[in-house]
Structure 1
Amino acid sequence: MTTIIDNDDSRVRTLEAFAGVAGPAPSNLPATQPQSFLPPVDRVHGAQQVAVRRHEPDVLRKIKELAAAAGEYFYYRFPVKNKGKTEYIEGPTIKCANAVARLFGNCDVDCRSVDIGTHWVFHARFMDLETGYSLTRPLQQRKTQATVRGDAGRAEDIAYQIGTSKAIRNVVTNALDTFTTFAWQEAKMSVRAGAGCLDSAPRDLSGFLPGYAERGAFRFCRCVGRA
Structure 2
Amino acid sequence: MSMMSRAWTLIFFLVVLGGCGSKAPVVVEKKPVVKTIAVMQVVEPTKMEIQNLSSVMFLVPIASIAFNSDSKHKSKIFAAAMARQNMTMGSVLTNVLVEELKGGGYDVVIVDAVPVPEDEPDEMDYRQFKTDVDAILYVYFDDVGLHSGAGSNDYRPRVNISGALHLKDVEDDFYHEDFSYGVDARAGKSWAVMADPRYAYPSFEAVIAKAPEIREAFESGAQAIGRRMAADIKSALK
Same fold, TM-score > 0.5, yes or no = no
TM-score, normalised with respect to structure 2: 0.29
Larger relative contact order (C-alpha < 8 A, sep ≥ 6)? 2
Larger-Rg structure? 1
